[in-house]
Structure 1
């Protein structure tokens, strides 16, 4: 069973951007995009990510989130790009040298990839339980 679950995760990751977005599209999902410094929100999961010279820091991994918990992903990139949170259909323009924060409530269980579109970097994965 464990091997099947691992294959499923790999299959989802290999499926790519369009497939995940189409499969998990959520019209009307509310989210906030801000270029001002992030403000702390009680109980919020803060996910700070930096992209420099094509490298993601911290290295891409998993962030575990409780279903219903607010999430703030702050990305600072040295090049312009587009941020995409799969499953929540949250997108934001990344501006070179500027921190961009997207906020939303993780109200759907599953594993969702966070990536950039232009440079096709996987930033992290959200495991919502």
Structure 2
């Protein structure tokens, strides 16, 4: 069996520890506390919208800011109860929301038609 030099062993261990840290931030990460504001940045530029269907985990009752930066006027539609519409103009606008009931709430655009984000409320 061949032994690794100390420097190689240290580098390998550092890489393993870094990998463990990176995987701890995966999609199973819990939502923050109820008083922490979750910000969802939405960009509308040259007819395209980002994000494109990303899922964001939030707690029921948690404050959420939908921050829209756009080069054209438009609107967002949220499939909640009751449903909500957020018209926006050119520039940056923030829409503060909270969702009290668990479930998955879609925020979408009708022009272009796409799901922008899915809010997973727990």
TM-score, normalised on structure 2? 0.63
- Would you identify which runs of 4 or more consecutive aligned residues in structure 1 move more than 4 Å? none
Shift of 1:46: 0.8
Any gaps of 5 or more consecutive residues in structure 2? 1-34
Deviation at 1:79, TM superposition (A): 1.8
Q: Is the 8 A contact 2:52 2:114 kept in 1?
A: no
> SS of 2:65's equivalent?
strand
Rounded Cα–Cα distance in structure 2 between residues aligned with 1:53 and 1:121: 15
Query: Of 72, 82, 91, which residue of structure 2 is paired with 1:79?
Result: 72
RMSD value, Cα: 1.6
| 1:81–1:119 contact (8 Å) kept in structure 2 | no
SS at match of 2:113: coil
Structure 1: unaligned runs, 5 residues or longer = 1-41
Count of aligned pairs between the two proteins: 87
- Seen in structure 2, the aligned counterparts of structure 1 residues 117 and 50 have a Cα distance that, compared at 3 Å, is same
Describe how 1:1-129 pairs up with structure 2 within 5 A: 42-88=35-81, 89-96=83-90, 98-129=91-122
Looking at both structures, which has the greater relative contact order when contacts are Cα pairs under 8 Å and sequence separation is at least 6?
Answer: 1
TM-score normalised by length of structure 1: 0.60
